[in-house]
Amino acid sequence: MFNLITKSDSNVKNDVLSGITVALALVPEAVAFAFVAGVDPMVGLYAAFMMGLITSAIGGRPGMISGATGAMAVVMVALVAQHGVQYLFAAVILAGILQILAGVFKLGKFIRLVPYPVMLGFVNGLAIVIFLAQMGQFKVLDALGNSEWMSGTALYIMLGLVVLTMAIIHFLPKITTAVPASLVAILTVTGIVHGMDLDSRTVIDFVRDMLPEAEKATATLAGELPSFAIPMVEFNLQTLYIILPTAIILALVGLIESLLTLTLIDELTDTRGSSNKECIGQGVANGVNGFFGGMGGCAMIGQSMININSGGRGRLSGITAAIVLLAFILFLAPWIEMIPLAALVGVMFMVVIGTFEWASLRILRGANKEDGFVLLLVTGVTVIADLAIAVIVGVIVSALVFAWKHASHISAKTRIDDEGWKVYELDGPLFFGSVSYFRNLFDVENDPSDVVIEFEGSRIWDSSGIDALDGLADKYQKAGKKLHIRHISPECRTLLVKAQKFVEINVNEDPRYKIATDKLD
């Protein structure tokens, strides 16, 4: 629908301008997620700065933006409410250590196990979540402090500015690509609002709405450099018992969202990032966050899409975004507070359009109903629950669907060879789902004295298949008949117990199955 993705190579100008654009969009997101987690807005801003800087510098995916995220913020709420922010910092450090270990032990490769329909559901679900998150900007507080939808002139101004922002982002690249369209849109709309003195909510209005009444008048995004401090918690097993569950969930959610975002950017840019290196980068960033008063985070698909759309491809784009964000906090807070929320909403709406995988609608109309079901399931769970649960559910359901579809795919052609032996030529996988079908293929009682099982067109996938073959060998042995097993892989042969002595070894013909390595990660 919209040509939002460009595949131009990285260059300094594009990376710097794109980084500035991303920094502008990071401010309200970081503030909002800080309030979700129940911590001070500066904790969210510090997290966005440190996550963005460190992951861009040492992570495995140039061009990807990390910061404070909603997926991780919701996990923090209970810990902060019950034990305070210092325990959150300790949990973030522990989560970082777990993520570093995941990278060291090269667990990032397991992101390959996420099926394509799950990936599509993840992308579409996040697009919907980003869209729904912007709806809150169309609400205002009444005299009693209750939230209500905009109406009248305020609504029309908001909608008009949002549409103007989207129009600039869509049409400007057709005229020139010298500067990021999103940055031009934000600056243009900001100039119009303040030049014409329009009554439009700004970033500082958003911050004030979330603060208690007594703090509204002094609300500001100005701050100082984050400072090093060891979390003020007791270093004992009781503290570990408190923070470990939260740390594990934070580590998993952070890695899942980051690695799936990495995979998405790989596809959009026709390049390849390193999943294991990204695990280490995310872990180091979260560890530093815990020591410098940040709430931690992970990759942000919305801001990453803004960066890619704006031409950011290299590490410099993420580093620029982080440094500019810090400059906002230290020196330019009054200017950032003036940005109309409508401009940022318009940018995020264009991100939604570019993020949603419109081609997935063809899958829903296609003949493969199982993939369509998984896609819708993951999309729905992402919106209703969270990303980690959605991906785990999607992978499990996809695995069950795969097992069900392939359980009945094993079959055998039988023939009598020149020596009078009966040959079973297997076709299809032998695993836990097809074991019952496999057993029904054989007629032990009526077979001749010599029986051949030919595995050239089949493979044993798990221990259930090994056990089924051992059991079949035992039946033929008890019936006084000789079994011959051909073309079975060396890996499977070593696992056989009762059937191993019936295997006929042919080094030149027996298959050797390879596994994926970590060289590309």
User: Rounded to an integer, what distance in angstroms lies between the CA atom of residue 406 and that of residue 431?
Assistant: 9
Residue 515 pLDDT greater than 50, yes or no: no
- Per-residue pLDDT at 374 exceeds 70: yes
Q: What angle do CA 195, 197, 199 make, to 5 degrees?
A: 135
State the total domains in the chain.
3
Q: How high is the mean pLDDT of the chain?
A: 86
Let me know whether 303 and 376 are in one domain.
no
> Would you state the pLDDT for residue 4?
40
Q: Is residue 2 part of a domain?
A: no
* Structure-token match 């703090």, residue found: 215
In a domain, 7, yes or no: no
What is the three-class DSSP state of 504? strand
Percentage of residues in the chain with pLDDT exceeding 70? 92
Are 424 and 385 contained in the same domain?
no
Res. 75 pLDDT band, cuts 50 70 90? confident
Q: Do residues 240 and 170 both lie within one domain? A: yes
Q: Supply the pLDDT for residue 511.
A: 54
Dump pLDDT digits (tens) for 489-499: 777 777 677 66
The answer to whether residues 84 and 93 touch, using CB atoms and an 8 Å cutoff, is: no
pLDDT at 502: 66
Within a domain: 273? yes
Amino acid at site 238:
Q
Arithmetic mean of pLDDT, 67-92: 90
- Residue 47: pLDDT above 50? yes
| Structure-block tokens of residue 125 | 């679900």
Task: For residues 327 and 398, state if they share a domain.
Answer: no
Quick: pLDDT tens for 158-168. Answer: 999 999 999 99
Q: Are residues 376 and 354 part of one domain?
A: no
When pLDDT is averaged across residues 1-21 and rounded to a whole number, the result is 69
Q: Is residue 353 domain-shared with residue 374, that is, in the same domain?
A: no
CB 203 within 8 A of CB 28: yes
What's the domain range around 375?
A: 369-406
The amino acid sitting at 438 is F
pLDDT at 244 (0 to 100): 95
In the prediction, which pLDDT does 503 show? 67
Query: Residue 1 has what pLDDT?
Result: 33
Are 490 and 425 found together in one domain? yes
Judging by beta carbons within 10 Å of its beta carbon (0-12, 13-18, 19+), is residue 498 exposed, middle or buried?
Answer: middle
State the DSSP code for 452: E
pLDDT digits (tens, 9 = 90+) for 470-484: 899 899 999 999 989
Same domain, 397 and 476: no
Question: Can you tell me the distance from the alpha carbon of 160 to that of 134, in angstroms, rounded to the nearest whole number?
Answer: 15
User: By the 8 A CB rule, do 430 and 465 touch?
Assistant: yes
What's the pTM value of the predicted model, to 2 decimals?
0.74
Quick check: 116 and 259 in contact, CB under 8 A? no
Is 4 part of any domain?
no
Task: Look at residue 512 and tell me if it is in a domain.
Answer: no
Question: Is the domain of 118 the same as that of 188?
Answer: yes
Q: Is the pLDDT of residue 214 over 60?
A: yes
Q: What pLDDT was estimated at residue 2?
A: 36
Cα–Cα distances in Å, from 218 out to 40, 201, 214, 221, 222? Answer: 14, 17, 8, 10, 11
Of 50-64, 113-127, 370-384, 420-434, give the lowest mean pLDDT range: 113-127
Residues 440 and 379 in one domain: no
**Three-state secondary-structure class, residue 8:** coil
Does residue 245 sit within a domain?
yes
In what helix (H) or strand (E) does residue 454 lie, and over which residues does it extend? strand 450-460
Query: What are the CA-CA distances from residue 376 to residues 257, 302, 318 (Å)?
Result: 18, 21, 32
Least confident of 3-12, 143-152, 280-289, 438-447: 3-12
Q: Is the pLDDT of residue 307 over 90?
A: yes
Whether 509 maps to a domain, the answer reads no
Q: Which CATH number fits the domain that encloses residue 480?
A: 3.30.750.24
Mean pLDDT, range 321-327, rounded to an integer? 95
**Residue 464 pLDDT > 80, yes or no?**
yes
Average pLDDT over residues 398-422: 86
pLDDT confidence bin for 516, thresholds 50/70/90? very low
Higher-confidence position of 506 and 350: 350
Residues 234 and 266 in one domain: yes
In a domain, 104, yes or no: yes
What tokens does 502 get? 């019936």
Three-state secondary structure readout of 349-418: HHHHHHHCCCCHHHHHHCCCHHHHHHHHHHHHHHHHCCHHHHHHHHHHHHHHHHHHHHHCCCEEEEEECC
Instruction: For the chain, give percent helix, strand, coil, nearest 5.
Output: 60, 10, 30
In this prediction, residues 252-267 reach a mean pLDDT of 90
Same domain, 310 and 374: no
Residue length, the chain? 521
Question: pLDDT digits over 114-137, tens only?
Answer: 888 888 888 888 788 888 888 888
pLDDT tens-digit readout, 84-102: 999 999 999 999 999 999 9
